Amino acid sequence: MSLKKHHKWIIGSFSSIVIVFMIVVGILLNGIIVKQSVDYANLNNKLNELQTNIQSQINLLSEDIITTQTSLEENQQQLRLLKASTSEDFSGIYSDSVDSVVIVSTDVGQGTGFIIDKEGYIVTNYHVIEDATKAGIYTSDGEGPYQITLIGKNILMDVALLKIEGSFDELELGNSNDVKTGEPIMAIGNPYGLVFSQTTGSVSQVHREGPNGIHAYIQINAQINPGNSGGPLINKQGEVVGIINFKIGGEAEGLGFALESNYIKKCINQISQKEMNITLIS
């Protein structure tokens, strides 16, 4: 049965409407999908920015914590030095220094030395090792014996530069020209085998004449004995201002002498320049 004209028109119109509807729905769905994609991309960018900002804040906070910790450690060290410098108590300075003091043990006796560079360079008196055929170094933590290398010596000033292998704490040399008569000092050494003993006293006088005829010695009243030779003389700032060298015996008491640190520095740098072509102490 053939369709009438108006029936065809109705069917065609309906088909057009359906097609138009489907096109419109497709356009709307595509717009929604595009919008969701854009929104997702914006959200992802915002999340990335937020993550970056959070990481930046964490990094800043970590740096602040490290800076604060470093500052606290520095303040604690300054507080210990201030406390030590305003009292007669050397206990804190002894604790900070003793790890850099060593026993110099030989087949002819025993003395003391101290580390002046973290790579294991040690200063002692030359007479401590002068006639020895065997020698070893022991540290305060009980380690040793370390094999010794004699870098060089200054016989006139009775100074020897030694070397052991390893990494160590070091002592800093102060300016002996700043040493004042009457100021407190501490000597660390190994008198008569009593290892890592400390004695305290004061500076009796500076620039005393030594056995070599040079006015290069600090006179002290701190008790020193055989075995102290080569040990450090330390001030209230924890600096080495001399190396224990000799004492006047007999009936005399409290008459010890230490080579001034400025002469130590000069001797060591002359030796290191000659033997290694370096300046060991700046």
Q: What is the pLDDT of residues 155-187, one digit of tens each?
A: 999 999 999 999 999 999 999 999 999 999 999
- Asked if residue 28 has pLDDT above 80, the reply is no
Give me the residue spans of the domains in the chain: 35-86, 94-163, 176-276
- Asked if residue 46 has pLDDT above 60, the reply is yes
End-to-end CA distance of the chain: 118
CA distance 88 to 72: 25
Closest by Cα among 99, 64, 55, 109 to 232: 99
Of 50 and 157, the one with more pLDDT? 157
Task: Say whether 176-276 and 94-163 share the same fold.
Answer: yes
Q: What is the pLDDT of residues 15-25, one digit of tens each?
A: 667 676 777 77
Taking 3-state DSSP, the helix, strand and coil percentages for the chain, each rounded to the nearest 5, stand at 40, 30, 30
Domain spanning 94-163: which CATH class is it, in words? mainly beta
Could you tell me the pLDDT band of residue 55, with boundaries at 50, 70 and 90?
confident
Residue 191 preceded by cis peptide, ω within 30: no
How confident is the model over 76-85, as a mean pLDDT? 62
Domain spanning 176-276: which CATH class is it, in words? mainly beta
- Asked if residue 3 has pLDDT above 60, the reply is no
Show which residues are catalytic. 127, 158, 229
Of 189 and 251, the one with more pLDDT? 189
How many residues belong to the chain?
Answer: 282
